[in-house]
Amino acid sequence: MQQSEITLHGHRVSYRSAGAGPLLLLLHGIAGTSSTWEEVGRGLQSSYSVLAPDLLGHGETAKPWRGDYSLGAYANLVRDLLSALGHERATLVGHSLGGGVALQFAYQFPDRCERLVLVSSGGLGHEVHPLLRSAALPGAELVLPLLCGQGARNAVARATQWLGRLGLRAGPDLEEIWRGFVSLGDADTRRAFLETARGVLDVRGQRVCAGDRLYLAEEIPTLIVWGERDPLIPVQHAYATHERIPGSRLDVFPRGGHFPHRDDPRRFVDLLLDFIATTQPARLADSRLRDRLRGAVERDATVRDREQRDGRAASALG
């Protein structure tokens, strides 16, 4: 995939791209970069245009000191990148934080989202590994520089090499987490990571959950992909989301971790190609979204009125 950059709103945005045809937009996770999609991109570029940006604060993209690292701002930047590169619509493939951004994009710009592919996605439940929750702890900005210093990184690197000499394979989870850990040695990247993490996490888990709005995704073809052994975000989120989005598809990689697209890229590409070939891109207008929202408001009002009547009846009997 060819790496390029563009300036948006005065900030550098780096992205990888390849191929030609309908657009697939690939969004990486927190502390990750677009490089996580290299193998997947090679498998898709013969049939599709593939676009994989480094999100704000990540990789080669700018890390502004007072940047907006909220999900809404990420979705806005993705929309602006598509427009600047001449793309109107895309199938969104989001991993971890990128899944949360994809969900937010579909919510803010439903007319520009053709399909959703959620890969070990954030924003679908509160549970998350304590490693990520620790980023929300007071004083994390003081501890991280010590953990990510060159001495600590060298110690972890030596331990990893020792495991390799013993014939033990670290696997994609450790490889990707290690790559993200090393990136935090840079002060600007570390600050952007903390800003992003604290926007979606607190000490109890994920603060942002799309569960109450998933009914709006019913008309968007949705594929959910997860690793059965995901140590960071539990696979139970995948099953619960599948139940809450009628017509969605679910594929769990039996031995996969948090990076199923890296665990088995060939299987992931085949799954994605089949999903796209057997679904029609969504065509949602703002009027349709308004109708669904009004319907939901009316249903909630009906339920609330019934509960109030039942409460008054119970009080009278009491």
Q: Is 202 a catalytic residue?
A: no
| Helices 187-200, 97-108: inter-axial angle, 10-degree rounding | 60
Question: Which is catalytic among the residues 14, 35, 49, 96?
Answer: 96
Contact 272, 93 (CB under 8 A): yes
d(CA 265, CA 228): 16
Residue whose entry in the numeric block shows the structure tokens 């891109």: 281
Contact 180, 131 (CB under 8 A): no
Give SS3 for 74.
helix
Q: Is 230 a catalytic residue?
A: yes
Contact 281, 114 (CB under 8 A): yes
Per DSSP, 135 falls in state G
Question: Which is catalytic among the residues 54, 173, 230, 251?
Answer: 230
Give SS3 for 91.
strand
Question: Which is catalytic among the residues 17, 258, 261, 263?
Answer: 258
Contacts of 314 (CB under 8 A, 6+ apart): none
Report how far Cα 1 is from the mean position of its chain's Cα atoms.
21
DSSP one-letter string for 234-252: -THHHHHHHHHSTT-EEEE
Q: Is 111 a catalytic residue?
A: no
Catalytic residues, by residue number, are 96, 230, 258
